Amino acid sequence: MRLFVAIGLEGKAAAAVEQVRQRLAAAGQGLRWSQPADRHLTLQFLGEASPEQAECVMERLRAVRSAAVPVRIAGIGFFMRAGVFWAGVEATAELLALQQRVTAATRACGFVAEPRVYRPHVTLARSRGRSGAGALVALEAAVEGKRIRLAAECLAQDYALYESFTGPSRYEVRARFPLGVE
């Protein structure tokens, strides 16, 4: 099974992201837009895991304590080489502390944190194969032309262990973990 740990996007932040998607949908034809229920802020991508590792992760994450985390959406951008359109998330002290606690907890289950700097974001759309690159360029022009800006905030009360399925992007929550418990 393929696993990752993330905060689901909710409230005003989710609504603001959806408004941006609606304004840009026509310009982003040829892209795979993320579904509102699937939008999330990844804390750690774990990848392939055995059932035993999944149990270990759930046990370890139950022990993580953290205050509720403000999720501040701050701008939009593109990872052109990866074919991704994203909403940026401010790297607040609370968010970084939670991300570090999660990666420390999963280490005992055989997972290693990525060596690159954590860049919090919410994926809004992905290109589809080679033809999608042009769609991403067209979307970037539409963002500039329409002067799209995105700023919103929500307070995350929990985070979750997700399982990712291949094919059309689909995620299922395997376990939820409360925030606001120190």
Residue pair 39/71 in contact (Cβ under 8 Å)? The answer is: no
- Measure the CA–CA gap between 156 and 12, rounded to whole angstroms: 12
Q: What is the pLDDT of residue 67?
A: 92
Q: What is the pLDDT of residue 31?
A: 86
Q: What is the pLDDT of residue 147?
A: 83
Residue pair 121/75 in contact (Cβ under 8 Å)? The answer is: no
- Which is more confidently placed, 49 or 24? 49
Q: Which domains does the chain have, with CATH numbers?
A: 2-178 (3.90.1140.10)
pLDDT confidence tier of residue 136, bands split at 50, 70 and 90: confident
Instruction: Provide mean pLDDT across the span 141-166.
Output: 90
Q: What is the pLDDT of residue 182?
A: 62
Instruction: Provide mean pLDDT across the span 121-144.
Output: 82
Share of the chain above pLDDT 90, in %: 62
To the nearest whole number, what is the mean pLDDT of the chain?
A: 90
DSSP SS3 for 89: strand
27 φ/ψ angles, rounded to the nearest 5 degrees: -75, -20
**What does the pLDDT look like over 74-109, one tens digit per residue?**
899 999 888 899 999 999 999 999 999 999 999 999
**What does the pLDDT look like over 12-23, one tens digit per residue?**
999 999 999 888
DSSP string, 22-85: HHHTTTTTTEEEPPGGG-EEEEEEEEE--HHHHHHHHHHHHT--B--EEEEEEEEEEETTTTEE
Q: What is the pLDDT of residue 83?
A: 87
Say whether pLDDT at 166 is over 90: no
DSSP SS3 for 90: coil
Say whether pLDDT at 168 is over 90: no
Give the residue from 100, 101, 134 showing the smallest Cα distance to 118: 100
